[in-house]
Amino acid sequence: MQTVLITGGTGLIGTALSRYLLEEGYHVIILSRNPKETAARHRVASAQNAFRPSGRLMHSRWDIQRMIIDPMAIQEADYVIHLAGAGVADKRWNHARKQEILVSRTRSSELLVQSLQRYTNKVRTVISASAIGWYGPDQGSPFVETDPASQDFLGQTCLQWEQSIEPCAAMGKRLVKLRLGIVLTTEGGALRAFRQPLYLGVAPILGSGRQMISWVHISDLCKAFGHALEKESMQGAYNVTAPQPVDNQTLMLSLARAVCGRRYLPMHVPSWALRWLMGEMSVEVLKSATVSSHKLEATGFAFQFADLDSAIRSLTKPC
Ligand SMILES: NC(=O)c1ccc[n+]([C@@H]2O[C@H](COP(=O)([O-])OP(=O)(O)OC[C@H]3O[C@@H](n4cnc5c(N)ncnc54)[C@H](OP(=O)(O)O)[C@@H]3O)[C@@H](O)[C@H]2O)c1
């Protein structure tokens, strides 16, 4: 059976992806800065019947600051999935935080590259996360993979992140870079943040509400990673976004209807207020990016949740 090494496998996407790959029959090694803590969390979840890894899940350690990695993790792996990086929306951006967001990604890529060069291994394929923060703002037609990176902080971070993992291709590994859209999941991230005010009956529409959001359901996202592992012809960058992006107002009102029925009040939050509250990070919610999923679909990938209403129905319960 094939083994997948996942960096940042403890995070929002990594947890769902590990579970998906275990269900698909893979062995999984989670590479973490704190593997003991993660292993303990998984043991609790397993005891609660939520997660049954049946001995096919291992935890391993790396120290990105000191450029140290457990060689076993590299030697055992057939595939590497690189997700690690400081959360883009976790803290207000200042110079130090922006450096951390960038360097946590590029330095961890460098450690992976160095380890793949240093230790004998059988890794065939490396799949690195990237993000649709690469693009924008909208200028007419949907963004495709050949479009240049945006000049803003997110665009330039994605560019350097993708460049930092590129040496894997020169080593003869198949390298796939998945530019992920805004992930919709009940476990956290954008959907949880958008849902909070709905419990007070308020549906906040951010800025003009017309900015396009290219989203993806967590279940389709996990399947897209699985597809990229197995589809030998895939190489280079692919957008992972549902085929029907929506604007912010449509997303907020669909979510409000699903959670509150008719008992909600739409409320516009002006762009200036978001800039004041969030600083430069407001670009995350105000930038309009309509992203094309054609290249991924052309490889034979079919989205289960292509439209927003079906995605939201599967992820929400009325309150
Ligand atoms: N969620 C989304 O909507 C979305 C959209 C587009 C792209 N992405 C990208 O996909 C990747 C995974 O996303 P996610 O939502 O699962 O992120 P997440 O929940 O924040 O998890 C990221 C993982 O990276 C590791 N990490 C955190 N800070 C780090 C640092 N300073 N240095 C090295 N490693 C660090 C952590 O693992 P340990 O603590 O175990 O080391 C953490 O579990 C990220 O790179 C993210 O930018 C996410």
b/e map 190-199, b = 16+ CB within 10 Å: bbeebbebbe
First to last CA, the chain: 43
CA 179 – ligand 1 centroid, Å: 14
pLDDT of residue 274: 95
- DSSP assignments along 30-61, one per residue: EEESSHHHHHHHHHHHHHTTS---TT-EEEEE
Q: Where are the domains of the chain?
A: 3-184+215-242+289-304
Among residues 53, 1, 57, the alpha carbon closest in space to that of 32 is found at 57
Tokens read off for 314: 């599967």
> For position 87, what pLDDT does the model report?
96
Whole-angstrom Cα distance, residue 234 to residue 225?
Answer: 11
DSSP 133-184: GGS-S--SSPB-TTSPPPSSHHHHHHHHHHHHHTHHHHTT-EEEEEEE-EEE
Q: What is the CATH number of domain 3-184+215-242+289-304?
A: 3.40.50.720
Q: What count of Cα atoms within 13 Å lies in the side-chain half-sphere of residue 34?
A: 7
Residue 23: burial class (beta carbons within 10 Å; 0-12, 13-18, 19+): exposed
Cβ-based neighbour number of residue 140 at 10 Å: 6
DSSP one-letter code for 24: T
Q: What tokens appear for 247 in the block?
A: 């604007």
Quote the CA–CA distance of 58 and 53 in Å, as a whole number.
9
**How many C-beta atoms lie closer than 10 Å to residue 297's C-beta?**
15
Cis peptide before 137 (omega within 30 of 0): yes
Atom of ligand 1 nearest to the CA of 33: 41
The pLDDT value recorded for residue 82 is 98
Q: What residues contact 208, with CB distance under 8 A and at least 6 apart?
A: 271
The rounded distance, in Å, linking the Cα atoms of 11 and 189 is: 10
Cross-strand partners of 27: 3
| CA 262 to ligand 1 centroid distance, Å | 36
Q: Whose CA is nearest to atom 30 of ligand 1?
A: 86
- CA 104–ligand 1 middle distance (angstroms): 9
Residues of the chain with confidence (pLDDT) below 70: 38-54, 318-319
- Write out 167-181 in H/E/C secondary structure: HHHHCCCEEEEEEEC
Nearest alpha carbon, ligand 1 atom 2? 183
Q: For position 1, what pLDDT does the model report?
A: 83
Q: What is the pLDDT of residue 53?
A: 58
Of residues 161, 85, 169, the one with CA closest to residue 126: 169
* H/E run at residue 12: helix 12-23
How far is 162 from 165, CA to CA, in rounded Å?
A: 6
The pocket around ligand 1, CB under 6 angstroms, is made up of 8, 10-14, 32-34, 38, 64, 83-88, 100, 104, 108, 129, 131, 180, 182-183, 189-190
